[in-house]
Amino acid sequence: RHADRSAERLRQAWSAAAPTASPTGAASTAAPPPYDAGGGIGFLHVPALGAGYQVLVKVGADENTLADGVAGVYTAPYPSAMPWDAQGNFALAAHRDGHGAKFHDLDRLKPGDPLVVETRDRWYVYRVDATLPETSKYDTGVIAPVPTGSPYAEPGRYITLTTCTPVYTSLYRMAVWGSLVREEPMDPGRTPPAELR
């Protein structure tokens, strides 16, 4: 319920500052606005986890942040890149059980599945490239700018989703890696990309 209230507040804030269209009808291409990390930076949509699946994304992967039933952006040991950054790894964590269990079915994702990040002014569409079913909970390399064990050999624009495994335990971690396919400006009607229709 807390996450739902936070999500509603974020959407209301976006509505109050909706992107404006230029005289040609195109959405504004201004630089990304400053974000209130406490209020969330956007939403992660994962169609393979069900129609309408979305999770609020906040900065921070600590216990307090994740207890709110959100996906948290890692700030250490590698500060995550944001989707709008020129390169880097947008690395997220969420609970698999309890606290909303937002990544409960993360093990269902497979290469080719889309991952869509919605911000106030853009859609970022990623494609799952690989999964790591199990690794040590101390394996921080999975969220490095070029994730260790991933199929990537050089800097790019990546997304990493992590959670505990096996289900109902916190013994190990699993990771899902994806790369940016494209980004789309947000139109005033917030028309979702094809992957969400």
**Tens-place pLDDT, residues 116-152:** 999 999 999 999 999 999 999 999 999 999 999 999 9
What is the model's pLDDT at position 29? Answer: 45
For the segment 81-97, the average pLDDT, to the nearest whole number, is 95
Q: How far apart are CA 4 and CA 54, in angstroms?
A: 11
| pLDDT tops 80 at residue 99 | no
Active-site residue (options: 164, 174, 175, 186): 164
| Per-residue pLDDT, 21 | 45
Which residue is listed with tokens 């201004």?
Answer: 30
- Of residues 25 and 53, more confidently modeled: 53
pLDDT class of 51 with cuts at 50, 70, 90: confident
Q: Is 71 a catalytic residue?
A: no
Q: Mean pLDDT over residues 78-106, rounded? A: 91
The one-letter code for the residue type at 166 is P
Q: What ranges do the domains of the chain cover?
A: 2-21+37-196
**CATH number assigned to the domain covering 2-21+37-196:** 2.40.260.10
The pTM (predicted TM-score) of the whole model is: 0.87
> What b-and-e string marks burial along 160-189, b requiring 16 or more CB atoms within 10 Å of the CB?
bbbbbbeeeeeeebbbbbbbbeebeebeee
The mean per-residue pLDDT over the stretch 174-194 comes to 96
